[in-house]
Chains A and B, each alone.
Chain A
């Protein structure tokens, strides 16, 4: 898919509200948005898809405000992240969520350290689940969504330095939690 074609679709949606062009845009970006939201929601596929639908509805309503100064995918992921944050505020208080993350981090650490899982990919998923929301979002964007640090900072609405700190902190945590696999790899 050429960027020119994507721009055509965007223009058709802005000018005419063309549902066919919008559907083409949804098809193009749905996988990336749904994957990103699945990571944020701890692989809750149903919730992630609900949030993805809301994201695209917001995209349709506000597409006129897209200025083209960032990639369209970056703009959509930013909206997706905001949808996730809104959902989180509605569903839980911050303290409760933090406790939840801490619980998950503890569970993830103990499971990985105890070697109760045989599969590296499962351990990676569990280790990712143990990160804070910002760290997980930063790692997901930089490693799995092909975003530059600048794009990721824009999506997460944080300064570039903060984003890099989250990435580095997340990598340190992951290295610690996956140390057993690293040692096996060296043998």
Chain B
């Protein structure tokens, strides 16, 4: 029978009530899944796993830069940064430092992506 919100059955014409009963009996039976959901899931598009690590890596980099800007007035942090910059003027140290930073960002990004 049609949804109660649709039809006030008490006020219906007898023909309508009879038709409601007939249609209610014609309600199709529940269809078993029988592998239907499995078929759908196999057709789902593959997730692009590099997108999230990229986003998370960018977010972490942004966070590192922001933190540097926020704490640049701090004497201790400024000293550390100054020392670090002086040390990094040496090209070999700079390369290693940059390599470590990039590696760390990618690692954190990948971890966040898998989480």
Contacts and interface: CB of A to CB of B under 8 A. Distances in A.
A35 interface: yes
A174 B19 contact: yes
A143 B23 CA distance: 7
A121 B16 CA distance: 17
Contacts of B6: 142, 148-149
A64 to B, nearest CB: 13
A124 B22 contact: yes
Contacts, number: 87
Given A22-B41, A23-B41, A147 B36 contact: no
Interface string A43-54: 000000100110
A31 B40 contact: no
A34 B36 contact: yes
16 contacts: A23-B38, A26-B36, A26-B41, A27-B37, A35-B28, A49-B36, A60-B44, A60-B45, A61-B45, A142-B6, A143-B23, A147-B3, A148-B5, A148-B6, A181-B22, A185-B18
